[in-house]
Each structure stands twice: as structure tokens, then as C-alpha cells.
Amino acid sequence: MRKNLQKQLKHIERFSKEHGGMWNIPPETGMFLSLLVKLSHSKRILEVGTSNGYSTLWLAEAIRQNRGGRISTIERDPLKVNLARANFKRAGLSRFIRIYYGEAHKVLKRLKGSFDFVFIDATKEEYLPYLKLILPKTKPGALIVADNAIMFKDRMKDYLDFVRNHPKLESVLIPIGSGEEMTLRG
């Protein structure tokens, strides 16, 4: 990993501890997401829940190493949007990222194209409605990762039941960080 990015990730980790309210993934989850993007050679990534851009930077670095692509990331808090933009710029990864400001369900309805990798880390009770808007925007072979599948399994029950029982989805719980439900669209 580039030293500039390592420095920026450490800065975000410190900032989040000092100020709270950012709810960033732990570094090992960031590494896991980065590896998935690299292994799948994903080029079009969707992230629901940007916060201050910590997870976005892990994804963007993987895209950079994959020799290009684009992340569309959605955040509804204007303060977090501004923090994320500044973090992307300092890390030198802005060119790979487009931030959409607004409520995810509204933004998802407007987004065009298809995505080959999706990371969901937002309001837990909204995961299933988000997924239903996202699935038509993915193609077979797309990976969908939902954060907090262990920590908030009760709040995500409808989402977890859906992905684990849908005939065109294969899903498994990865016990890393707060729990990642990894789903492959068939």
C-alpha cells in the first residue's frame, strides 16, 4: 500500500476516535474488501454509506491497482460528504470516486448502469430495500457485501433471510470485523 494512503487511513482512524459518529469499518475489513475487489477485477463499484470515506479509500486503492474503474458512493450527511471529499483528495484517489449526496433509496432509483461490486454499510433496517433497488443494477457474477451481519444480525434479519434463501443468490457470513455477509449474484 502506498505510504500516502497509509498515512491518510491512519489520520481518519485517529479523527474518528477523537470525534466519534463515523462508524468506520476496522482495517482488517478494509483489507478484506480491497482483496475482494482485486480478485474479482471489479471496475464499477457502488457503496451505500460513505461516512468520512474510510472504506471508500480501501475500495478506491484496489480499483487503482486494478488499473482503473469508478466508485459511486452515497452519503446523506453533508458534514460527512465534505470530510470524505477532503480525505479522497489528500489520499490522491478523488479521480476514482463520485459522491452522491442524498438519501440512498432516492439516489439508487436515479443511478444508471450496472455494478460488479457493492458494499452496503448504512441504516441496517434499510439494507433489504436498498438491495431490491440494487439487484437490477448488477449483472451475474456481481459481489454484494453487507457490513455488520454479526453485530446487527437482528436488525438485518430480513436482509439476511432474503440473500440466504434467494434462488439466484449465494451468500455466506464472513466473521471478520462486525461480520460481512458476502453474496454472489448468479
CATH architecture group of domain 3-145: 3-Layer(aba) Sandwich (3.40)
**Residue ranges covered by each domain of the chain:** 3-145
Whether the Cβ atoms of residue 8 and residue 57 lie closer than 8 Å to each other = yes
The pLDDT score that the predictor gives to residue 66 is 92
What secondary structure does DSSP assign to 21-49, as a single string?
---PPPHHHHHHHHHHHHHHT--EEEEE-
Whether the Cβ atoms of residue 102 and residue 126 lie closer than 8 Å to each other = no
The pLDDT score that the predictor gives to residue 7 is 86
The pLDDT score that the predictor gives to residue 13 is 87
pTM tops 0.75: yes
pLDDT by 10-residue block (mean), the chain, 186 residues: 83 85 92 97 97 97 94 97 96 97 98 96 98 97 98 98 98 98 97
- 94: which residues sit within 8 A by CB, 6+ positions away? 85, 88
Mind listing the pLDDT tens digit for each residue in 67-102?
999 999 999 999 999 999 999 999 999 999 999 999
Please measure the distance between the N-terminal and C-terminal CA atoms of the chain and give it in whole angstroms: 32
The pLDDT score that the predictor gives to residue 6 is 86
